[in-house]
Chains A and B, each alone.
Chain A
């Protein structure tokens, strides 16, 4: 998707500068791609320990306390993502039931856009819950070292 985004915008500039053909849909497609890239890859980045965390306090704790705190914060992360999942489902349902429509270059039901959020928040919640259950996963520690 990242490569498609690059190619699309380059093609748009080239076609406009050389007056070959018009690609007025580039702007909208780029925006949807940015959204899709961010949401689809967010659980992967969480699994890879890639989301920024401030560990200045945590890393000064004794090993056992750190492990316990990690378990609590991961469980809390699971709760936050579960709440977001529930409300994302409600937003999706409301948009679907109200038949909201997006009127941009493309015209389509608005709920298409919201359909991505609930599964992503659910996967994030599951990942947090999994981490909370297995806080001392050695592969996880190795990934943290490599960040």
Chain B
């Protein structure tokens, strides 16, 4: 059997199982059972699959995943994040598209405290969308910013998916976490500028209304009280990584503990919301880590069957330049993102892409950030973009067509940032180079 026939059969089997509605992790297990039996020595191959599943999550590098998710859930369920959004709401006044700008600023702040895109989008959707509709905001300027900024949690540390990508692609996790910060801030700034300009040129999108006439102190104090102290958590997490004081796992544990302390100091921590936070964290953690158990053997099957080596050689033999190949890989990711979740996309493409990345001598951290950016965009691409459904849940009266239409400009902005990062890799690599060795 040729390598491309093997590749087609393996990928085809996997996609068919997924399309039939079998949970992704079991689709991986089923495909790997077949692949391991055929290409890894029959029953011994299947026994190796079980060993891999058990060994795969015994990995210290994966520990930040539950801890980063826990940070976000605590902030979300204790209501501390909602208070921070409220404080930003008081601070921003008399600008076109005020509530949309509050969503972008608040969402960016929450992204620095949470590793969960779903929590970010759900919180913004539930707190700001009703008010936006009450004030007559059009879907084009209300839903779009919330979905767009919701995905930033994937890029700005603490990011659970960045940890996962770093772990499976063998990219230094601390560098990947730090490298994502600047591109995410550029993206947030462009979202902000876009909303301001659109509302400036077309005020009917976000009708102006009288904001309560608060004094400077009343506007600034909530920000000082409810937002600035939370930035301490971000400093603990990112500062400890940049300063070389702690590993990503240690910084994540410190961040989770700091979130708990912050919630307790704001007198928002109860047994009930703590229990809900832990329960939700457990659910998302197990969902993610169990996919690793199921899919870890996939890369071995690819390697043993010579499929990944064959693909890598064929791609390199095309005679295309680095940029063309890079764009090709990102387009494949973008396409997969229309139908698949982020974890599955990573587990399928990393074993195929990383050998090409290494052969081409690309900077792995740079590629990792570009991949995360596309994964972030995929959260908002129809028909399977997860955040589209999250915001639909928060805004049942909006049609899916309206949601997709409102998100499209923000997707294009995000893709333009990807193009910028391809053209200027230094934007990605600048911060990791500042890190202590």
Task: Using CB atoms and an 8 Å cutoff, list the residues of chain A in contact with chain B.
Answer: 2-3, 5-10, 12-13, 17, 27, 30-32, 34-35, 37-39, 41-42, 44-46, 48, 50-58, 69-70, 72-73, 76-77, 80-81, 83-84, 87-88, 90-91, 94, 113-114, 116-117
What are the 9 A-B residue pairs with the smallest beta carbon separation, nearest first? A9-B253, A51-B23, A58-B21, A31-B58, A38-B289, A41-B286, A53-B23, A13-B250, A35-B58
The answer on a CB contact under 8 Å between B26 and A80 is yes
Pairs A–B under 8 Å by Cβ, sample size 5: A31-B60, A50-B287, A52-B287, A88-B50, A91-B54
Q: Does B33 contact A (CB under 8 A)?
A: yes
Known contacts A57-B21, A77-B26; decide if A32 and B58 are in contact (CB<8 Å). yes
The answer on a CB contact under 8 Å between A34 and B59 is yes
List the A side residues contacting B339 at CB < 8 Å.
54, 56
The answer on a CB contact under 8 Å between A38 and B286 is yes
**Listed residue (B21, B30, B252, B256) with the most chain A CB atoms within 10 angstroms of its CB:** B21
The residue in chain B whose Cβ has the minimal distance to the Cβ of A146 is B393
List the B side residues contacting A51 at CB < 8 Å.
23-26, 287, 290
A51 to B28, CA, bound (A): 12
Known contacts A54-B19, A69-B21; decide if A6 and B282 are in contact (CB<8 Å). no
The answer on a CB contact under 8 Å between A56 and B281 is no
List the A side residues contacting B343 at CB < 8 Å.
52
Q: Binary interface profile of B, 249-264, with partner A (CB < 8 Å = 1, else 0)?
A: 1101110110000000
The answer on a CB contact under 8 Å between B46 and A87 is yes
The residue in chain B whose Cβ has the minimal distance to the Cβ of A61 is B21
Query: B18 touches which one: A54, A69, A72, A80 (CB < 8 A)?
Result: A54
The answer on a CB contact under 8 Å between A38 and B25 is no
The answer on a CB contact under 8 Å between A87 and B282 is no
Tell me which residues from 234 to 293 in chain B have a Cβ below 8 Å from any Cβ of chain A. 245-246, 249-250, 252-254, 256-257, 278, 281-283, 285-287, 289-291, 293
Q: Binary interface profile of B, 3-20, with partner A (CB < 8 Å = 1, else 0)?
A: 000000000000000111
Q: Could you tell me the distance in whole angstroms from the C-beta of A124 to the nearest C-beta in chain B?
A: 8
Q: Could you tell me the distance in whole angstroms from the C-beta of A64 to the nearest C-beta in chain B?
A: 15
Q: Could you tell me the distance in whole angstroms from the C-beta of B300 to the nearest C-beta in chain A?
A: 15
Q: Is the interface of B mostly helix, strand, loop or mixed?
A: helix
List the A side residues contacting B285 at CB < 8 Å.
2, 37-38
Q: Could you tell me the distance in whole angstroms from the C-beta of A99 to the nearest C-beta in chain B?
A: 17
List the A side residues contacting B53 at CB < 8 Å.
84, 117
The answer on a CB contact under 8 Å between A114 and B54 is yes
Query: B50 touches which one: A5, A12, A44, A87 (CB < 8 A)?
Result: A87
Q: Does B22 contact A (CB under 8 A)?
A: yes
List the B side residues contacting A3 at CB < 8 Å.
278
The residue in chain B whose Cβ has the minimal distance to the Cβ of A81 is B26
Q: Does B86 contact A (CB under 8 A)?
A: no
Size of interface on B: residues with Cβ below 8 Å to A: 56
The answer on a CB contact under 8 Å between B281 and A2 is yes
The residue in chain B whose Cβ has the minimal distance to the Cβ of A13 is B250
Q: Does B340 contact A (CB under 8 A)?
A: yes
Q: Could you tell me the distance in whole angstroms from the C-beta of A69 to the nearest C-beta in chain B?
A: 7
Comparing B63-71, B175-183, B206-214, the segment that makes contact with chain A is B63-71
List the B side residues contacting A83 at CB < 8 Å.
33, 46
Q: Does B47 contact A (CB under 8 A)?
A: yes
Q: Does B310 contact A (CB under 8 A)?
A: no
A94 to B50, CA, bound (A): 12
The answer on a CB contact under 8 Å between B384 and A38 is no
Q: Binary interface profile of B, 23-60, with partner A (CB < 8 Å = 1, else 0)?
A: 11110011001000000000100110111011001111
The answer on a CB contact under 8 Å between A12 and B250 is yes
A69 to B53, CA, bound (A): 28
The answer on a CB contact under 8 Å between B54 and A117 is yes
A55 to B246, CA, bound (A): 41
Q: Apart from A52-B341, A54-B384, what are 5 other A-B pairs with CB-CB below 8 Å?
A: A34-B58, A70-B21, A77-B23, A91-B50, A117-B53
Q: Does B383 contact A (CB under 8 A)?
A: yes
A131 to B267, CA, bound (A): 43
List the A side residues contacting B66 at CB < 8 Å.
2, 5, 34, 37
The answer on a CB contact under 8 Å between A56 and B286 is no
The residue in chain B whose Cβ has the minimal distance to the Cβ of A116 is B54
A64 to B163, CA, bound (A): 41
List the A side residues contacting B51 at CB < 8 Å.
91, 114
**Listed residue (B53, B257, B343) with the most chain A CB atoms within 10 angstroms of its CB:** B53
The residue in chain B whose Cβ has the minimal distance to the Cβ of A76 is B22
Query: B384 touches which one: A32, A56, A70 (CB < 8 A)?
Result: A56
Query: B21 touches which one: A34, A45, A53 (CB < 8 A)?
Result: A53
Query: B249 touches which one: A30, A73, A76, A90 (CB < 8 A)?
Result: A30
Q: Does B62 contact A (CB under 8 A)?
A: yes
Q: Could you tell me the distance in whole angstroms from the C-beta of A141 to the nearest C-beta in chain B?
A: 14
